[in-house]
């Protein structure tokens, strides 16, 4: 197996690491928050995160420091609105499991990142939105927060600085769309999770119409390192414009599925072969989806590329949440398309006509191929219907469905032709 | 409808107060509140709880019903004593999840979304649970059984049925 670069999983990879606050502290944990609170202004923290080049690990890859700088700079006073930082721990993109590994194995790391973020954005209350289907993760993170209250690192007048900070775990209730940040805010407000039209962006009007930033678990887990070791040390990992390491989830037909940490820009083929042990049972690779169900599929001959945001975009797909799903030579891509569209149809929030209707009708069309009742006209109709969802919807879910489905048709038309009626 | 006949115990009401204190407005706590109501009532939202919850957090019955029906986890009928979730999403579905689902449907004599006549088992097909490296998997109540085989499923169903008899 290739050597991991350990920044996020450095504690988790230690045998016997408990993940409680005492263990975390022994590894130097907590120093970054203390440094920020006692030695840096909020503006300095944001500048440091900007310099590191850290890009959001939730899917879109937006620069984290830049996003933080969109929050109003003034201190929320009596007549101003409170600020919020919401941690996106919904992790529902098919194939993605790295946030769960981080939350369960070393919850204090991302929580410390979140506390630093709250300080930088002058938020006195942060919410961690964890999907309801993961009661074990909810309990684990809640226990970590309880420890911090006990240690007086949360609550009023933390470390004598006068700063107040509360953190609350908020359980979701089973809806993939609540991973989309504005749907998440509606859900946090006690509503159905419907994505909002932007603008206004959450930094102007987010949770309860107050300035809000949403960050992914892994994004926040990088923050303590950036503060203690400095932005340059962070940028020494990865490649230009794609700095740091990444926690990559690999699943499907591989020998060793799981989560591995490596440089941003590590070769995709090497991730499959050197980390995940290659295709299971000595079989040949047929295809892989490089960034969760929302990312267009790649053929086996296309995967010799650096694995990062920019390179995969150039390759016509996306890194997304860094979830690589691997399919061996025996896989029927019609079945992969079928599972994909069933997922999207089940999870569409139904607000936009192209997404609501499109996912329904495409699901039925793909089912016809499953029943060996397809033909050339139906195949091009799938492609056209998928294209009609792209760019016509409120949230990026629509683009994801359209791109993913078009990908199957473009890359594997022969699989669909095998299901034409004879 | 039995409006006004259900309520949380005093002990749970204390929990509710603590929950409200963590949100700027009460209605923000609607999702955790509904989870609490399910937890206290055999895993589902029995008649009357929607309007009671609406009253508790100061919103309308329609709002609460809209929320209950939007999310997958809120139930308006009783689950089995053993509620089984099987992930058939991508990639689990292609790594044995579909077979596990099919096998359970045959073995229990019910379809996904149904409960056995004796109220013992209910079966639910779910989307990705962020444990794809453990495929195929089934979750029984809160217990995730990883890399499960069809033989293990048979044994579990038999053992569970025997426990009841
Ligand atoms: C349909 C949809 C689902 C999403 N699901 C998730 C998710 O489960 N977890 C996540 O962190 N981001 C998810 N995102 C991305 C979020 O909207 C948001 O960009 C992200 O949480 C921002 O955090 P970051 O800047 O730290 O990456 C999703 C986006 C879309 C459009
Ligand atoms: S694109 Fe789909 S999921 Fe997104 S808001 Fe529109 S209907 Fe909802
Ligand atoms: S696809 Fe089943 S847990 Fe992810």
* A277-286 pLDDT, tens digit each: 999 999 999 9
Q: Is the same domain home to B66 and B86?
A: no
Q: What is the CATH number of the domain that holds B90?
A: 3.40.30.10
B87 and B65 in one domain?
no
What are phi and psi for residue A198, nearest 5 degrees? -115, 145
Q: Which of A166, A193, A336 lies nearest to residue B90, judging by beta carbons? A: A336
Q: Chain A within 8 Å of B31 (Cβ-Cβ)?
A: yes
> For A266-288, what is the mean pLDDT?
98
CB contact under 8 A, B24 and A82: yes
Q: What are the pLDDT digits (tens) for B73-99?
A: 999 999 999 999 999 999 999 999 999
Q: How many whole angstroms from A370 Cα to the centroid of ligand 1?
A: 32
pLDDT of residue A1: 66
Judged by a CB distance cut-off of 8 A, whether residue B16 touches chain A is no
pLDDT at A121: 97
In the three-class reduction of DSSP (H, G, I as helix; E, B as strand; rest coil), residue A124 is classed as strand
Q: In chain B, count of helices (H) and strands (E)?
A: 6, 4
Question: To the nearest whole angstrom, how far is the Cα of A336 from the nearest Cα of chain B?
Answer: 7
Mean pLDDT (whole number) for A144-164:
96
**Binding site membership of A345 for ligand 2 (Cβ less than 6 Å):** no
**Cβ contacts of residue A242 below 8 Å, gap of 6+?**
A53, A55, A264, A265, A308, A309, A310, A311
C-alpha distance across the termini of chain A, in Å: 47
Q: Which residues of A touch B89 (CB under 8 A)?
A: 94, 339, 343
The finding on whether B3 has its CB within 6 A of some atom of ligand 3 is no
- Closest-CA residue to B31 (of B77, B85, B73): B73
What is the token pair recorded at A371? 């029943």
For residues B65 and B90, state if they share a domain.
no
Confidence of residue A314 (pLDDT cuts 50, 70, 90): very high
Which domains are seen in chain A, by residue range?
21-235 (3.40.50.11540), 239-328 (3.10.20.600), 333-417 (1.20.1440.230)
Judge whether B57 lies within some domain: yes
For ligand 1, atom 24, the nearest C-alpha belongs to A56
Identify whether residues B22 and B44 lie together within a single domain.
yes
Distance between Cα B87 and ligand 3 center (Å): 6
What is the separation of C-alpha A327 from the centre of its chain, rounded to a whole number of angstroms? 22
Percent of chain A with pLDDT over 70: 99
Minimal CA–CA distance to A414: which of A366, A364, A376?
Answer: A376
Asked if A397 reaches chain B (Cβ–Cβ under 8 Å), the answer is no
The answer, yes or no, to whether any atom of ligand 2 lies below 6 A from the CB of A52, is no
pLDDT (average), residues B133-139: 96
Please write the tens of the pLDDT for every residue from A20-46. 999 999 999 999 999 999 999 999 999
Q: What is the mean pLDDT of chain A?
A: 97
DSSP letter for each residue of A276-306? S-SBGGGPPEEEEESSSTTSPPEEGGG--SE
Q: Which domain holds residue B108?
A: 82-164
Same structural domain, B62 and B117: no
Q: Is the pLDDT of residue A203 over 70?
A: yes
Nearest CA in chain A to B53: A190
User: What pLDDT does residue A9 have?
Assistant: 98
The answer, for A172 touching chain B at a CB cutoff of 8 Å, is yes
Whether B4 has a pLDDT exceeding 90, the answer reads: no
Share of chain A above pLDDT 90, in %: 97
Helix (H, G, I), strand (E, B) or coil at B49: helix
Q: A191 vs B63: CB contact, 8 Å cut-off?
A: yes
**Count: domains in chain B:** 2
Express each pLDDT in A93-109 by its tens digit.
999 999 999 999 999 99
Which sign, positive or negative, has the C-alpha torsion A54, A57, A60, A65?
negative
CB distance B71–A251 less than 8 Å?
no
**CATH at residue B28:** 1.10.10
> Is B3 part of any domain?
no
Q: Which of B18, B45, B70 is the last residue of a domain?
A: B70
Give A286 Cα–ligand 1 centroid separation in angstroms: 28
Cα distance between the two ends of chain B: 35
Do the Cβ atoms of A271 and A263 come closer than 8 Å?
no
B57 lies in the same domain as B34 = yes
Whether B103 and B60 map to the same domain: the answer is no
Give the helix, strand, coil percentages of chain B, each rounded to 5: 45, 10, 40
Structure confidence by residue, pLDDT tens digits, B141-161: 999 999 999 999 999 999 999
Q: Tens digits of per-residue pLDDT, B18-31?
A: 999 999 999 999 99
pLDDT of B2 strictly over 50: no
Mutate to test the interface with A, among B16, B91, B141, B145 (most CBs of A within 10 A): B91
DSSP A246: E
Chain B neighbors of A191, CB-CB under 8 A: 30, 63, 67
Determine, for residues B31 and A174 on separate chains, whether the beta-carbon distance falls below 8 Å. no
Contact A133 B126 (CB under 8 A): yes
How far is the CA of B130 from the CAs of A132, A178, B122, in angstroms?
12, 15, 22
B3: pLDDT strictly greater than 60: no
Same domain? B61 vs B88: no
Using one digit for the tens of pLDDT, what is the confidence trace for A353-410? Answer: 999 999 999 999 999 999 999 999 999 999 999 999 999 999 999 999 999 999 999 9
- What six digits make up the tokens of A248? 């990559």
The phi and psi torsions of A16 (rounded to 5 degrees) equal 80, 5
- Are both B136 and B86 inside the same structural domain? yes
Atom 6 in ligand 2: which residue has the minimum CA distance? A352
ipTM for the predicted complex comes to 0.96
If asked whether residues B87 and B140 sit together in one domain, one would say yes
Q: Is the peptide bond before A200 cis (omega within 30 degrees of 0)?
A: yes
**What are the residues facing A419 on neighbouring strands?**
none
What is the Cα–Cα distance from A306 to B44, expressed in whole angstroms? Answer: 48
A57 lines ligand 1 (CB under 6 A): yes
CB A88 within 8 A of CB A184: yes
Q: Which of A175, A181, A397 to mutate to test the pocket of ligand 2 (most atoms within 8 A of CB)?
A: A397
In a domain, B77, yes or no: no
B-proximal residues of A, 176-205, CB under 8 Å: 176, 187-193
Tell if the CB–CB gap between A173 and B130 is shorter than 8 Å: no
- Of B24, B49, B70, the position where a domain reaches its end is B70
β partners of residue A266: A307
Q: Is B97 in the same domain as B152?
A: yes
Alpha helices of A172-288 — where are they, by DSSP H?
A: 181-188, 217-221, 223-229, 231-235, 268-270
User: Which of B35, B74, B128 lies closest to A95 in CB terms?
Assistant: B128
Residue A77 has pLDDT above 80, yes or no: no
Which residues, in sequence order, are CB contacts of B114 under 8 Å at separation 6+?
B122, B123
Q: How far apart are CA B84 and CA A295, in angstroms?
A: 30
Is residue A365 in contact with ligand 2, taking CB distance under 6 Å? no
Split at pLDDT 50, 70, 90, the class of A303 is very high
């Amino acid at each position: 197996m290739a050597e991991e670069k350990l920044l996020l999983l450095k504690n988790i990879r230690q045998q016997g690491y408990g993940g409680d606050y005492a263990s975390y502290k022994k590894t130097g944990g907590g120093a970054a928050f203390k440094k920020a609170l006692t030695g840096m202004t909020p503006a300095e923290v944001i500048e440091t995160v900007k310099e590191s080049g850290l890009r959001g690990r939730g899917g879109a890859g937006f620069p984290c420091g830049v996003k933080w700088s969109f929050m109003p700079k003034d201190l929320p006073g009596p007549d101003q609105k409170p600020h919020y930082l919401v941690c996106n721990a919904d992790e529902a993109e098919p194939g993605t499991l790295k946030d769960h590994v981080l939350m369960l194995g070393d919850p204090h790391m991302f929580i410390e990142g979140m506390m630093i973020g709250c300080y930088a954005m002058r938020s006195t209350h942060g919410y961690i939105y964890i999907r309801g289907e993961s009661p074990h993760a909810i309990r684990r993170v809640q226990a970590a927060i309880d420890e911090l209250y006990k240690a007086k690192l949360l609550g009023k007048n933390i470390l004598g600085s006068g700063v107040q900070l509360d953190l609350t775990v908020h359980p979701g209730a089973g809806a993939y769309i609540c991973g989309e940040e504005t749907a998440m805010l509606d859900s946090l407000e006690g509503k159905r999770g419907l994505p909002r039209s932007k603008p206004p962006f959450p930094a102007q009007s987010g949770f309860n119409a107050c300035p809000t930033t949403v960050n992914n678990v892994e994004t926040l887990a990088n923050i303590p390192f950036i503060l203690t070791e400095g932005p340059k040390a962070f940028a020494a990992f990865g490649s230009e414009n794609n700095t740091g390491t990444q926690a990559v989830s690999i699943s499907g037909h591989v020998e060793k599925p799981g989560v591995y940490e490596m440089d941003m820009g590590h070769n995709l083929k090497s991730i499959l072969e050197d980390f995940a042990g290659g295709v299971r049972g000595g079989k040949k690779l047929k295809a892989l989806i490089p960034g969760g169900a929302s990312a267009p599929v790649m053929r086996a001959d296309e995967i010799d590329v650096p694995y990062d945001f920019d390179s995969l975009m150039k390759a016509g797909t996306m890194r997304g949440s860094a979830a690589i799903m691997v399919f061996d030579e025996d896989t029927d891509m019609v079945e992969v398309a079928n599972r994909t569209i069933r997922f999207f149809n089940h999870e569409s929030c139904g607000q936009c006509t192209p997404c609501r209707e499109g996912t329904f009708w495409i699901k039925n069309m793909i089912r016809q191929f499953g029943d060996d009742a397809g033909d050339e006209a139906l195949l091009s109709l799938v492609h056209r219907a998928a294209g009609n969802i792209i760019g016509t919807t409120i949230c990026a879910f629509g683009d994801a469905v359209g791109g993913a489905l078009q990908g199957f048709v473009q890359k594997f038309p022969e699989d669909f032709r095998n299901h034409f009626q004879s | 409808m039995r409006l006004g006949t259900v309520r949380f115990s005093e002990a749970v009401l204390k929990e509710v107060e603590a929950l409200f204190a963590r949100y700027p407005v009460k209605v923000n706590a609607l999702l955790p509140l509904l989870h609490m109501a399910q937890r206290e009532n055999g895993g589902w939202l029995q008649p009357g709880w929607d309007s009671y919850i609406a009253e508790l957090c100061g919103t309308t019955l329609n709002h609460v019903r809209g929320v209950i029906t939007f999310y997958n986890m809120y139930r308006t009928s009783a689950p089995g004593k053993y509620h089984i979730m099987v992930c058939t999403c991508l990639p689990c579905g292609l790594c044995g999840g579909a077979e596990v689902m099919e096998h359970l449907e045959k073995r229990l004599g019910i379809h996904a979304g149904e409960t056995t006549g004796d109220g013992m088992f209910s079966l639910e097909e779910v989307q990705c649970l962020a444990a794809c490296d453990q495929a195929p998997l089934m979750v029984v109540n809160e217990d995730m059984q990883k890399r499960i085989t069809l033989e293990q499923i048979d044994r579990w169903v038999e053992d569970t049925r025997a426990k009841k008899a």
